[in-house]
Structure 1
Amino acid sequence: MQANVGNIDRVIRILAGLLLLGGTLTGAIGAWGWIGVVPLFTGIFRFCPAYLPFRWNTCEKK
């Protein structure tokens, strides 16, 4: 599994995931907030399977 999520993309995903999960846990939003697990994990592991068919890669070029 090669990383395909860059640093900026990673930070945005982790923050969005935490906000969605936090909203769910506090009762501010409904159960749909559990979808925040997806961006949180893709940010943590730096891999997004949805990028594969499009050959997208937001990592910096070396």
Structure 2
Amino acid sequence: MVPNVGSTDRLVRYILAVVFLIIAFFGSSGIWAWVFGLLGVIMAVTATLNFCPIWAVFKINTRGKAS
């Protein structure tokens, strides 16, 4: 698992995770609460691991040049 999430991408993912989790807990109900909750968890996990499987499939790397 080669890291492919850069610092700006990571920050955006953390912000989206917080927004999605707030929507899940306070702004929606039913299936939408689960959808937003799952999206929030996925964003937080991919930001924490510095790895996004979707980016890997499309060979996208937001970390910049490899050293």
Q: Distance in 2 between matches of 1:42 and 1:19?
A: 15
Matched AA of 2:14? I
Gaps of 5+ in 2: none
Number of residues of Structure 1 aligned to a counterpart in Structure 2:
61
When the two chains are superposed, the root-mean-square deviation of aligned CA atoms in Å is 1.3
- Would you tell me which structure has more helix in proportion to its own residues? 2
Report SS of the residue matched to 1:52. Answer: helix
User: Given the two structures, how large is their TM-score scaled by the length of structure 1?
Assistant: 0.84
Matched AA of 1:33? F
**Structure 1 residue ranges, 4+ long, deviating more than 4 angstroms after superposition:** none
Cα distance, 1:15 vs. partner? 0.6
Report % sequence identity: 31
